[in-house]
């Protein structure tokens, strides 16, 4: 079985034509992981028993001639901040090292109902805070295209697993770019849905006004199929809604479309090769008949500063629950602990359980929210967030999509930015604005510098993921 060519449709075809069984397919993937993940380290946990029991069910369905659900028999991987019942869920943190998820996240429940086979849980930056997966408390994941480089982050394990064909698709989470940037670094496709399009029930919260779950896959079509399965309102997440999604069969007329190119995204300091490749991609759309228009999103320059106030503020509140009493690692359970009272249990649990990036953000966040500073930092950042949102709203009066690079550079070397948080934060510069505005965005491969992939980001209006997907497909099909 040659796994590297598999897409969702090819797998379904193989299963229905009985070229292979779901069990055989699952076995082939698990064996490949055992063999090849030693060097990449995309996975934190392999859920072999779960995968085999799911595969058996699919084979029974095929045997009895039942109609197959949309992801029947398709092997997938889940970022380790999304709960899968009975399976360890670490969020990449020591504090949850031995935490077993008590229930399925809604997205996982939906994947299971759709017949997907869960192979395991993928590595991430601790609590999804980072852009390289080096902040994982366990080990860094490597970029399958160049093992000396990072896969991006924080969903680096998910993107690497897909790029290395250790999984057909994966789920990631995107707060400020964590689906799109690793997809770009690993040469695969990643979709961040509109805020509210997908339920976050069972996603370990990082920054609740920004977090979204999104698919990572090798093709735009596979991302689309997975998105169709996981989207929609969930009573267990009050921020999720059932919007008027585009009808299934609309036709995208490229000649009638205007693509906006924000001048603030082509800046001094970005990699010249990245700029060239992205501009070539834009020209391709122009040749297809799209109108290209330069636009301005004037508050872009404040997006990163704004994000790095809001996200840590929300994180500091969300992470208050890890106190050594309710979940996971606890100094109270350590017989050698020097903690003498409850406060010391809290403090020592958190000092030992959280890594330095998480601690840095908790400190930044609590500072920005503290009395006396709240107005100057948090409130101000929220006001800037509104201006960034309005920039996009104004742009939509003139253009249908906004097209940009996904990241200012291709994958950087392991260790290159880990001691310089600001340099690391800069890799989110092009993904953070759409997150702050709650907009849907996709990253798709548009070229390579030597062997390193470059990602093209397409940002759309709220709940127009269908249209973004259609535009991305045009590029993808034009490429071959
Ligand atoms: N790299 C960004 C951060 O560190 C985004 C992370 C994410 O989207 N989860 O916050």
- For 59-110, the pLDDT digits (tens) are 999 999 999 999 999 999 999 999 999 999 999 999 999 999 999 999 999 9
Does residue 129 have its Cβ closer than 6 Å to ligand 1?
yes
Q: Which of 131, 136, 154, 435 is catalytic?
A: 154
Within a domain: 161:
yes
What is residue 478's predicted lDDT score, i.e. its pLDDT?
Answer: 83
Note whether 195 and 212 are within 8 A (CB): yes
Domain count of the fold of the chain: 1
| Percent over 90 (pLDDT), the chain | 92
Note whether 401 and 471 are within 8 A (CB): yes
* Measured distance CA(462)–CA(480) in Å, rounded: 30
Within a domain: 2:
no
CA 207–ligand 1 middle distance (angstroms): 9
Domain with 367, as residue range(s), is 7-480
Note whether 260 and 403 are within 8 A (CB): yes
Does residue 437 have its Cβ closer than 6 Å to ligand 1?
no
* Measured distance CA(438)–CA(129) in Å, rounded: 18
Does residue 210 have its Cβ closer than 6 Å to ligand 1?
no
Within a domain: 325:
yes
Answer yes or no: 370 catalytic.
Answer: no
Q: Ligand 1 atom 4: the closest Cα is on which residue? A: 130
Within a domain: 247:
yes
Does residue 443 have its Cβ closer than 6 Å to ligand 1?
no
Output the domain CATH number for residue 17: 3.90.1300.10
pLDDT, tens digit (0-9, with 9 covering 90-100), for 378-426: 999 999 999 999 999 999 999 999 999 999 999 999 999 999 988 899 8
Within a domain: 432:
yes
Within a domain: 166:
yes
Within a domain: 1:
no
**Stated pTM of the model:** 0.97
Answer yes or no: 247 catalytic.
Answer: no
What number does the ligand 1 atom closest to the CA of 178 have?
8
CA 128–ligand 1 middle distance (angstroms): 6
What is residue 479's predicted lDDT score, i.e. its pLDDT?
Answer: 59
CA 13–ligand 1 middle distance (angstroms): 37
Does residue 130 have its Cβ closer than 6 Å to ligand 1?
yes
* Measured distance CA(242)–CA(232) in Å, rounded: 5
Answer yes or no: 154 catalytic.
Answer: yes
The token duo for 300 is: 């872009």
pLDDT, tens digit (0-9, with 9 covering 90-100), for 208-217: 999 999 999 9
Within a domain: 381:
yes
Beta strand 117-122 with 75-79 is parallel
Burial of 247 (0-12, 13-18, 19+ CB in 10 A): exposed
What is residue 477's predicted lDDT score, i.e. its pLDDT?
Answer: 92
| C-alpha torsion angle, residues 63, 66, 70, 75 (rounded to 10) | -20
Burial of 255 (0-12, 13-18, 19+ CB in 10 A): exposed
Does residue 177 have its Cβ closer than 6 Å to ligand 1?
yes
């Amino acid at each position: 079985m040659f796994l590297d060519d598999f897409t969702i449709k090819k797998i379904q075809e193989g299963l229905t034509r009985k070229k292979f069984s779901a069990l055989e397919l699952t076995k082939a993937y698990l064996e490949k992981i055992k063999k090849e993940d030693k060097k990449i380290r995309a996975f934190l946990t392999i859920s072999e028993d779960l995968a085999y029991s799911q595969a058996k069910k699919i084979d029974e369905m095929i045997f009895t001639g039942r109609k197959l659900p949309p992801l029947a028999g398709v092997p997938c991987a889940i970022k380790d901040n999304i709960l899968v019942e009975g399976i360890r869920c670490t969020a990449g943190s020591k504090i949850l090292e031995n935490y077993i998820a008590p229930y399925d996240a809604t997205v996982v429940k939906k994947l299971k109902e759709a017949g997907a086979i869960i192979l395991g849980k993928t590595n991430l930056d601790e609590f999804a805070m980072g852009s390289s997966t080096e902040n994982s408390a366990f080990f860094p994941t490597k970029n399958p295209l160049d093992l000396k480089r990072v896969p991006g982050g924080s969903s680096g394990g998910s993107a690497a697993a897909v790029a290395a064909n250790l999984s057909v698709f994966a789920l990631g989470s995107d707060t400020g770019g964590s689906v799109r940037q690793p997809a770009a670094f690993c040469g695969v496709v990643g979709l961040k849905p509109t805020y509210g399009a997908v339920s976050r029930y069972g996603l370990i919260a990082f920054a609740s006004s920004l977090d979204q779950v999104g698919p990572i896959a090798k093709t735009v079509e596979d991302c689309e199929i997975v998105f169709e399965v996981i989207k929609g309102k969930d009573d267990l997440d009050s921020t999720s809604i059932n919007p008027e999604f585009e009808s299934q069969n609309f036709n995208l007329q490229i000649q009638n479309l205007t693509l906006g190119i924000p001048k603030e995204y082509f800046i001094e300091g970005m990699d010249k090769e990245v700029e060239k490749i992205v501009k070539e991609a834009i020209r391709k759309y122009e040749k297809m008949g799209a109108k290209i228009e330069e636009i301005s999103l004037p508050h872009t320059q404040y997006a990163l500063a704004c994000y790095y106030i809001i996200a840590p503020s929300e994180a500091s509140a969300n992470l208050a629950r890890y106190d050594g009493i309710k979940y996971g690692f606890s100094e109270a359970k350590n017989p050698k602990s020097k903690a003498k009272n409850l406060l010391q249990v809290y403090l020592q649990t958190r000092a030992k359980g959280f890594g330095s990036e998480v601690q840095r953000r908790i400190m930044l966040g609590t500072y920005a929210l503290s009395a006396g500073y709240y107005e100057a930092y948090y409130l101000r950042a929220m006001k800037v967030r509104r201006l960034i949102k309005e920039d996009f709203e104004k742009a939509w009066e003139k253009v249908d999509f906004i097209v940009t690079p996904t990241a200012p550079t291709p994958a950087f070397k392991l260790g290159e930015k880990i001691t310089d948080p600001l340099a690391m934060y800069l890799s989110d510069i092009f993904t953070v604005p759409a997150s702050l505005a709650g907009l849907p965005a996709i990253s798709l491969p548009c070229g390579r510098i030597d062997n390193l992939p470059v990602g093209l980001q397409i940002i759309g209006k709220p709940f127009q993921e269908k249209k973004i997907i259609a535009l991305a497909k045009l590029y993808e099909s034009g490429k071959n």
